[in-house]
Amino acid sequence: MNPIVMAILLVVMFAIFGYTVQGRWRLMNVGPATLPFDRPGERLRRMLKFACGQWRMPRHRVAGVAHIFIYAGAVIMLLRALMLFARGFVDDPHFGYWLFTTGAGGTLLGHAYAFVKDILVILVLLGIVVFLYYRVIRQLPRMTLNFEGLLILAILTGLMVTDALYDGATMARYNDPANGWEPLGSLIAMPLRDASAGTLTALQHIGFWGHVGLILGFMNILPYTKQFHEITGFPNVYFQSLAPVGRLPKLEDIDGLLEREETLGIKRIDQFGSKAMLDFFSCTECGRCQEQCPANKTGKLLSPKELTVALRDFAYKNQSALISGNSKQNGNGDGDEEPAPHQVDLVDNVVKPEVLWACTTCSACQTECPVFLSYIDKIVDMRRYLAMEKSEFPEQLATMFQGLENAGNPYSYPNDQRAEWAEGLDVPLMSEQPDVDYLYWVGCAASFDDRSRKIARAFAQLLKTAGVSFAILGPEETCNGDPARRAGNEYLFQMLARQNVELLNGYNVKKIVTACPHCYNTLKNEYPDFGGKYEVIHHSELLAQLIRVGKLKPRQPVNVKLAYHDACYLGRHNEIYDPPREILRAIPGVQLIEPDETRDRGMCCGAGGAQMWKEEEEGETRINHARMTQLLEVLPGSSNGRTIASACPFCKTMLSDALADKGHEDVKQLDIAEVLWQSVREIDD
């Protein structure tokens, strides 16, 4: 080979790559430094599992396995690239840094590497065929179908073909014997052995320089394409948030921000922190997030992928201005210059408001992402700017905000009605009996909504039957603030949170049980930021435990065919999947049927992210209607006792409304506590 050409190629191409990457690095750091460095051991373990081990890929079986083939091929080819770079300087076509030497005098490690490489070249080509099929023939909607994707597949194909050609021509030129260590090279060498020396030399050079050129060229287009994730994906997985999935970051010093008239939330692209920018760089554009997003599935404008790509491309477009800190356009000198493009509001200019308000914060997108991008925090941050800075939000949310501020609940009912659901049940108040094992946090829905009150009554009666010592706050309880926070009104949320924490700490509360996953998530994961650290359990966990120890004994048969719906804030946000099912399976007569979309792939009911308190964005259908259809598909249409069970009062409301809207009055919608109470209670003769 030619050492001079190789040296020039390496110096020039790596210099270009270094210049490009340092620009991306500086772009990543134009905003606040937010990369977390805590718990390095756990971060390393998760990176090895999810980035190196590709743990999430098989969630899409065919595409996932195809990607693993290509990924493994890329990893093994890194060593191959280093070998070829060295062979450009040494006159040895089998050079492998002494450990990985191939050919007749090769080492065992070199032969083993050559065998694995040849097998992976074949598997990579199979993976490429799969993705060509998905892009060209099936044209999966979740994928970005453009020239870039096809170009990348073409480059990968070229890398595999030139590698195989180089091996085959080398074996034929130097009369290396065919062997099982290099199956692909031996196969290609067979028809070449009768070729002239000049032909073999030419083919060897085409394979060698073609492969080296494609490697160096591909390296330099990475930062301009979705393939940048090959570099940024590993650190992005390492720096993923280790906080509970359901926890939103606290907006610190909100009172100080108001006094200093600083921006609340995210207005401009340079207000995103370095971790958010790393997220933008790492998007693979695979569309797995989009495919599972309930808003996108029902025809709304929101696509988590397109949102991320739009913000990323906007940052790329304005990279120079962002890095230089230039906040003005080139004006005419009259002092009336307009703000530079990167300084304008993201909303309306880059992201439509309908995109932000369509999100249910269900975390389906984040559960699917193979490189652990976060979406909810970015959406809520932009909602915060709209809600607190511009007062621009769906008009129905104004009523909800007003109810929270004036009445302590989003329904705007007088707070002294909070304990009316418990009439006749002899449920004590904390003010009367503070020395109890559990505070039962009832929540707004179960306090004021007639359908949800049935959940509270059933659960309270189960606790009393089991002999559990508990009390409620009654009129002292106010909303935990979840709908305000998810709607972007962080100021109102923090006001409610501080008020509730002061009350709970005043009673020296240690254990809280609640039937509402939204209350559960907020009290457990977000109140510690405000000094409220409690042992919080969901009613499904406590009821399952009471059944296991024999304090609750389901005896009466409840003869129903039942589909269980996983609440997002119970399942994906807090990974509670088994306790509700354990309860239902313990009830005689219950035939539990799992829908296809279940557990961490269960579709949202449409209530989360403050959607419960506003009209749904325009789309092809309503989210609760789509979810109801999925659940009914597994319940025989002609059978009696068809039931949909849930473990969240908001889910019960949304699914009950969907059943009524579509005329399915014959289908019951019950909370797991209601189903269990039917089996536990004593039936009068």
**Rounded-to-5 percentages of helix, strand, coil across the chain:** 55, 5, 35
Q: Are 91 and 407 in contact (CB under 8 A)?
A: no
Please state the length of the chain.
Answer: 685
Kindly report, residue by residue over 331-378, the tens digit of the pLDDT. 444 555 677 878 889 999 999 999 999 999 999 999 999 999 999 999
pLDDT of residue 332: 45
Residue 685 confidence (pLDDT) above 50: no
Exposed/middle/buried for residue 538 (C-beta within 10 Å: 0-12, 13-18, 19+)? buried
Over residues 611-635, mean pLDDT: 96
Q: What is the DSSP string of 214-267?
A: HHHHHHHHGGGSGGGHHHHHHHHHHTS--S-TTPPPP-TTHHHHHHTTPPPS--
Over residues 590-608, mean pLDDT: 96
Instruction: Kindly report, as residue ranges, where domains of CATH 1.10.1060 are found in the chain.
Output: 263-324+340-392
Kindly report, residue by residue over 131-166, the tens digit of the pLDDT. 999 999 999 999 888 899 999 999 999 999 999 999
Q: Are 490 and 384 in contact (CB under 8 A)?
A: yes
pLDDT category at 328 given cuts 50, 70, 90 is low
| % of the chain exceeding 90 in pLDDT | 90
> How far apart are alpha carbons 326 and 315 in whole angstroms?
14
| % of the chain exceeding 70 in pLDDT | 98
pLDDT of residue 331: 46
CB atoms within 10 A of CB 75: 11
Over residues 316-329, mean pLDDT: 84
Beta bridge partners of 347: 351
pLDDT of residue 178: 84
Indicate the average pLDDT of the chain: 94
Which fold is adopted by the domain 263-324+340-392?
Fumarate Reductase Iron-sulfur Protein; Chain B, domain 2 (1.10.1060)
Residue 103 confidence (pLDDT) above 90: no
CB neighbours of 628 closer than 8 A, spacing ≥ 6? Answer: 644, 655, 658, 659, 662, 664
Instruction: Kindly report, as residue ranges, where domains of CATH 1.20.950 are found in the chain.
Output: 3-27+41-238
pLDDT of residue 333: 44
Least confident of 285-294, 295-304, 322-331, 417-426: 322-331
> Distance between the two ends of the chain, CA-based, in angstroms?
96
Least confident of 318-327, 397-406, 477-486: 318-327
Q: What is the CATH number of domain 396-547?
A: 3.40.50
Q: What is the CATH number of domain 3-27+41-238?
A: 1.20.950
Secondary structure of residue 669 in the 3-state scheme: strand
Tokens 């003869």 belong to residue: 559
**Residue 328, token pair as written in the block:** 């003005």
Residue 438 confidence (pLDDT) above 70: yes
Instruction: Kindly report, as residue ranges, where domains of CATH 3.40.50 are found in the chain.
Output: 396-547, 553-680
pLDDT of residue 329: 52
pLDDT category at 640 given cuts 50, 70, 90 is confident
Global pTM reads 0.94
**Residue 167, token pair as written in the block:** 């091996």
Strand ranges inside 368-500, DSSP E: 438-441, 470-471
Tokens 């949909």 belong to residue: 644
Kindly report, residue by residue over 42-96, the tens digit of the pLDDT. 999 999 999 999 999 999 999 999 999 999 999 999 999 999 999 999 988 899 9
pLDDT of residue 110: 93
Residue 330 confidence (pLDDT) above 80: no
Residue 18 confidence (pLDDT) above 80: yes
What's at 196, amino acid-wise?
A: S
Secondary structure of residue 511 in the 3-state scheme: strand
Q: Are 141 and 169 in contact (CB under 8 A)?
A: no
pLDDT of residue 423: 96
Tokens 């961490």 belong to residue: 600
CB neighbours of 543 closer than 8 A, spacing ≥ 6? Answer: 459, 462, 552, 579, 583, 672, 673, 676
Cα 317 to Cα 81, 267, 277, 323, 350, distances in angstroms: 32, 17, 14, 12, 12
Kindly report, residue by residue over 283-299, the tens digit of the pLDDT. 999 999 999 999 999 99
Question: Is the Cα dihedral 314, 316, 322, 327 positive or negative?
Answer: negative
The architecture that CATH gives domain 553-680 is 3-Layer(aba) Sandwich (3.40)
User: Higher-confidence residue: 503 or 327?
Assistant: 503
pLDDT of residue 343: 85
Residue 639 confidence (pLDDT) above 90: no
